[in-house]
Amino acid sequence: MKKRGFTLVELLVAITVVGILISVLILAVNKALDSARRIRSANYLRQ
């Protein structure tokens, strides 16, 4: 018999990995937005 589909453990591991990747991506986007905000403020102060 061939095994079809995924086991519960495999699905949970996959969901956990995807969740970690999404959280890292969100942190990187927030850091980039904060940096852009600081640069914009510095440009306004120079003007």
Q: Is pTM beyond 0.75 here?
A: no
Q: What is the pLDDT of residue 20?
A: 98
CA dihedral 30, 40, 38, 44 (to 10 degrees): -160
pLDDT tens string 2-47:
667 889 999 999 999 999 999 999 999 999 999 999 999 999 888 8
Query: Between 24 and 1, where is the model more confident?
Result: 24
Q: What is the pLDDT of residue 1?
A: 58
